[in-house]
Amino acid sequence: ERTLGILGGGQLAQMLAAAALPLGVRCVVLEPDAQAPARLNAEHLHAAYTDAAGLERLRACDAVTLEFENVPVDATTQLDGRVPLRPAPGVLHLSKHRAREKAALTAAGAGVAPYRSIETPGDLPGALDAVGGHGILKTSELGYDGKGQVRVQPGDDLHAAWTALGSVPCVLEGLVPFVREVSLGVARGPDGTLSFGPLVENEHREGILRRSVFPASSSPDTALQARTLARAVAEAWNVTGFITLEFFELQDGTLLVNEVAPRVHNSGHLTQDGGGVSQFEVAVRAALGFPLQDFQPLLPCAMVNILGWPEGPGTDRQEPDWDALDRIPGTHLHLYHKTNKPGRKLGHVNVVGHTREELLQRVKTVERTLESYQS
């Protein structure tokens, strides 16, 4: 029996641990939150990411991976060289910092949105024009689900926007007129073997992923382009383990890379129920150096996120009708055992259909059932 250490104990760790068990692998999570989802199905080291005893336990694992890119550098340097960390600290260093990430993507031959790095007030004049007049200012570090971002347009005070974000290092990105957003997971084994996931189409609202659908409606050429870019990045960054690329697809089918997550991704959850191997199984395999295969779903499938609903005095309790959800054909409910908070990701519903039409009909029904409480 092997053990896989995971930095972070959220829902991604919970689902990694669930996929690991049938492979003969037990997971150990280092996670400061006592109520974190993976406490239920993994050995939970309830301590800070830099805790000496916790890191000691992770060093005794066969490999360590992560479910969260913002692990303190201290933690990774204490593991590095003592246990295989997959992906390695160098990959985390790039993917946790938007400006570094964009430079490294460009070096790997991938296109990115026009951007300017904003580190000092001197970087502000002319920056908005340089990216095309309409843009998004993003903190270089620690953002997720659209947090730490401000939209700016011609005439806006960029200095004020930067101040609102705390005057920390940021990137100003030009607003990309994408026709759709897509993503692709890719694993690379210690021997360089690549394993590609499906090209998935993603719909966001207020910066939060709401729905993913496979297959994406992109052309076969664009799907091939996505794989080519994923291979280029995985190889240029010398990735061992699992990464996910988020793309903007332009009118002519060209892909720009939005960002890279050094881990399994919310948009890959549909692989759990699409009939193929799941992203979680592949990520466990890649981290431990087990054999890899592509992880394409066998059926059209989709994922709808379940976000937390408003609660408390003055609000009607608007919990979703779980029984109604369960009665929709082709649905699989996945809950993370988290307490409710408005907008928080509490679970997801995977949906499968024999055809795309049937799938999209079912997705609509799922969304309508959830809509009674989530806007």
Residues in the site for Mg ion, rule: CB under 5 A? Answer: 246, 259
Among 258, 305, 350, 374, binds ligand ATP (CB under 6 A): 258
Among 204, 341, 354, 368, binds ligand ATP (CB under 6 A): 204
Among 47, 124, 165, 175, binds ligand ATP (CB under 6 A): 175
Give least dist CB 113 to ligand ATP, A: 4
**Which phi and psi angles does 250 have, rounded to 5°?**
-85, 165
51/141 with CB nearer Mg ion:
141
**Token pair of 264, please?**
């399994």
Q: Is 305 annotated as a binding residue?
A: no
Grouping H, G, I as helix, E, B as strand and the rest as coil, residue 321 is coil
Rounded Cα gap, residues 186 and 315, in angstroms? 43
| Partner interacting with residue 127 (select from Mg ion, ligand ATP, none; CB below 5-8 Å by kind) | none
* Number of Cβ atoms within 10 Å of the Cβ of 82: 13
Give least dist CB 173 to ligand ATP, A: 4
Asked if 207 touches ligand ATP (CB under 6 A), the answer is yes
Q: Is 174 annotated as a binding residue?
A: yes
Nearest-CA neighbor of 6 among 272, 23, 37, 35?
37
9/148 with CB nearer ligand ATP:
148
Per-residue x/- track, 133-162, ligand ATP (CB under 6 A): ---x-x----xxxxx---------------
- Judge whether 42 and 9 are in contact, CB under 8 Å: yes
Give least dist CB 146 to ligand ATP, A: 5
Distances from the Cα of 208 to the Cα of 175, 345, 352, 353, angstroms: 17, 9, 22, 25
Host H or E run for residue 149:
strand 149-152
Task: Say what the alpha-carbon torsion angle 156, 157, 159, 162 is, to the nearest 10 degrees.
Answer: -40
Q: Helix, strand, coil proportions of the chain in percent (round to 5)?
A: 30, 25, 40
Rounded Cα gap, residues 293 and 313, in angstroms? 51
Q: Is 145 annotated as a binding residue?
A: yes
Q: Is 176 annotated as a binding residue?
A: yes
Q: Is 259 annotated as a binding residue?
A: yes
| Partner interacting with residue 108 (select from ligand ATP, Mg ion, none; CB below 5-8 Å by kind) | none
Asked if 113 touches ligand ATP (CB under 6 A), the answer is yes
- Judge whether 294 and 196 are in contact, CB under 8 Å: yes
| Partner interacting with residue 341 (select from ligand ATP, Mg ion, none; CB below 5-8 Å by kind) | none
What is the residue type of 15? Answer: M
| Partner interacting with residue 176 (select from ligand ATP, Mg ion, none; CB below 5-8 Å by kind) | ligand ATP
Give the annotated binding-site residues for ATP.
Answer: 98, 138, 143-149, 173-176, 181, 204, 258-259
